[in-house]
A and B are shown apart, each in its own frame.
Chain A
Amino acid sequence: MTLFRAALWAEVLKARRSKVPWLTALGFSLAPLVGGLFMIILKDPERARSMGLISAKAHLAAGVADWPTMLSLLAQATAVGGGLLFTLVTTWVFGREFSDHTAKELLALPTPRAAIVAAKFVVVGMWAAGLTALVLVLGLIVGAAIGLPRWSTALLWRAAGALVVTAVLTLALMTPVALLASAGRGYLPPLGWAFLTSFLAQILAAIGWGAWFPWSVPALFSELAGPRANQIGLQSYIVVGVTWVTGLVGTFIWWNRVDQTR
C-alpha cells in the first residue's frame, strides 16, 4: 500500500505540473457554455430566427429552454465530449512515458509495475471525475444565470445520476485506450482508436446495433438518440463491462510481461 501511495503521489504530481488538465478542463467547459448558448437562443425565438444556422442547430439538439433539456444536454455532451477528452487524458497518462522515454525508469523498481499502472488508472479516474463535476457545476451556474424554468431538486439528483453513469460508462471504455497507448508506445495509436470507435459507434447506433457496441452505449444512455429504455439493455452494460475488464487486464499484463524496449 505504501508503494502504491508512492506511485499515486508521483502520478498526481506529474498531472499537477502538466498543462493537460487545464486544457481538458477548458475543453470540457465548452459543453455547459455551448448548452447555455443554446438555451439563450431557445428562450428568445425571434433572436433564434435572426441567427440562421445556429438557431436551426439549436432546435435540433435541444428543443425547449428549460432545466430538463439543459441537464440532458450536459449528459449528452459528457458522452460525446468525454469520449474524446477522457481518451486524451488516458493517452497522456500512459503514452507520455513512451514519448518522454521515461517508461524505462518505471520498470526496475521496488514499486511493482502493477502499482504504477493502478496509480495511473486511479489518476485517470480522478481526472474524469473532476471533469464531470466541472461540467455539472458549470452547467448549473450557466442554467441559473439564464434563469431556466422547471427546476426541482429531484430533477437535479436524477440528472446528476445520469451524468455520473454516462461518465462512468465512458470512463470504462478507457482501459483499451491505456493498453493501446502502452503497446503503441505513444499518442497516435490510441487517438486513432478513438476516432475509429467514435465513427463505428455512430454507424452501428444508426443501424440499430448500438446496444451491442460498447462505444455506442454512453451516448445512448445519455439519451442522445431518444429514451434509453428503447436504446440499450442489460447486454449494453455487459459489453461495456467486458471491454473495461479486457482493457484493464490487458494493460496490466502488457506492463508486466511484454518486453520493454524503449
Chain B
Amino acid sequence: MNTTLHDAMNIVIETDQLVKRYGVVTAVDAVSLRVARGEIYGFLGLNGAGKTTTIRALLGMIRPSSGVVSLFGEPIGPGGCGPWRRVGHLVETPAAYPELTVRENLEVARRLHDVADRGATIRAIDRFGLAAYADRPARTLSMGNLQRLGLARALLHEPELLVLDEPANGLDPAGVVEVRELLRALAHERGVTVFMSSHNLAEVDRLATRIGIIHAGRLIEELDMHELERRRTRRLAVDARDRVAARAALVAAGYAISLVGEDGLFVLGEPRAVAAPDEVARLLVAAGTPPTRLTVEQDDLEQHFLRLTRGVL
C-alpha cells in the first residue's frame, strides 16, 4: 500500500505478521495491528509479553525476523530509515545525559530532530513544568522529573505520532492526570496518534480509545473501548441488615444468587437484576428487609485483562 493511500485511510501504524525471534525465543509472534490517526491505542501485556520488543520494532530499533512494520505508510527500513520527524517516542525508562542540564538535554534533542525554532525547547520545558529545573543537571532529577524530561523530549518537535512505553511511570498523581489530559487533548484536538504501553490499566481504561492485549508474543485481543464496554461483566451487589431474609426473598422471587462474598454481600449476575435494580429494591422492601446497598458493578479493564491473560496461561 503506498503512502498516499495510507494517508487517505488515516492509518498511522501498521504491522503485518510481525515476528521477532532471539535464538529459540519468539518475543513477538505474528503481530498484525493497525492504528488510525487520532487513536489512543493502549498496548497491554504482562512483563515479557512482547510490548517493548514491538515498540522497538515500530521505532526501527530492531529488525523484524519476518513481517513488515510501517509508519504513515512508510516501511521502517534498516539503518534507522523512517518518518522520524513525525514520530516522538519514550522507550522504557527515561534516560538523559546526566552532566547536561534539562535545557541542554532538550537542546540536544531539538537539534537532532532538526527543529529550527529555538523556542521549542522553552515550550517543552514549560509544558511539562520543568522551568524550576531547567538549569539543573539531569543527574539531580527525581524519577518523576526525569519522566517529564523524557516526555518533553518526545513532544518537543510536535510529532503526529507518539510511541510511549509506560508514559505515567514515576509520575505523582497530579502528573499522571496532567499527562492524561495532555495526551487526550493532543489526540482529540490535533489528531495526534498515541500508541502507549502501560501496566497502569486504570489509566489505560480512562484514556485509550482502543486496546490491544499481547500475551506470550501474540496479540490475543484487540478491541475498541465501546466493545470493551459491551463485554464488561455487570452484576448487582446487594446488602441488607437481615441478609438471610433478603437472600431468601430474592430466591423465592426466582433470582439466582451468583456469589456471596466473605463480607456477606451477595451478587446477582442475571441481566434482569442488573437492568432493573429498582425491581429488586421493591421486592426486598415488600419482604420487610429493605436493601442497605444496591450497586451495579462492572468489570474494569484490569479484571478483563487478568481474566484474559490467566485464561490463556
- Which residues of A come within 8 Å of B, CB atoms? 2-3, 6-7, 9-10, 13-14, 17-19, 100-102, 104-114, 116, 256-257, 259-261
Contacts and interface: CB of A to CB of B under 8 A. Distances in A.
A14 B138 CA distance: 12
Given A6-B114, A108-B80, A108-B89, A17 B61 contact: no
A39 B82 CA distance: 60
B59 interface: yes
A184 to B, nearest CB: 18
Contacts of B113: 109-111
A102 B95 contact: yes
A23 to B, nearest CB: 13
A111 B110 CA distance: 11
Given A13-B100, A100-B95, A259-B61, A2 B114 contact: yes
Contacts of B96: 100, 102
B178 interface: no
Interface of B: 56, 59-63, 78-80, 82, 84-85, 87, 89, 91-93, 95-100, 104, 107-109, 111-114, 153
Contact of A111 (B56, B82, B89, B112): B112
Nearest to A108: B59
A105 B109 contact: yes
B104 A13 contact: yes
B112 A109 contact: yes
Of all A-B residue pairs in the complex, the 4 with the closest CB atoms, nearest first, are: A6-B111, A101-B95, A259-B62, A256-B79
A261 B61 contact: yes
Given A2-B114, A101-B95, A260-B56, A109 B108 contact: no
Nearest to B80: A113
Given A6-B111, A10-B112, A100-B95, A109 B62 contact: no
Given A13-B100, A100-B97, A102-B96, A108 B84 contact: yes
Nearest to B20: A259
Contact of A6 (B82, B92, B112): B112
Given A13-B100, A102-B97, A256-B80, A108 B60 contact: yes
Given A100-B97, A259-B61, A261-B62, A108 B82 contact: yes
A110 B99 contact: no
A101 B85 contact: no
A107 B95 contact: no
B96 to A, nearest CB: 7
A107 B100 contact: no
A28 to B, nearest CB: 21
Contacts of B114: 2-3, 6, 110-111
Specify which of A9, A17, A113, A116 lies most central, judged by the most chain B CB atoms within 10 Å of its CB.
A17
9 contacts: A6-B111, A17-B104, A18-B99, A102-B97, A104-B95, A108-B87, A109-B80, A116-B112, A260-B61
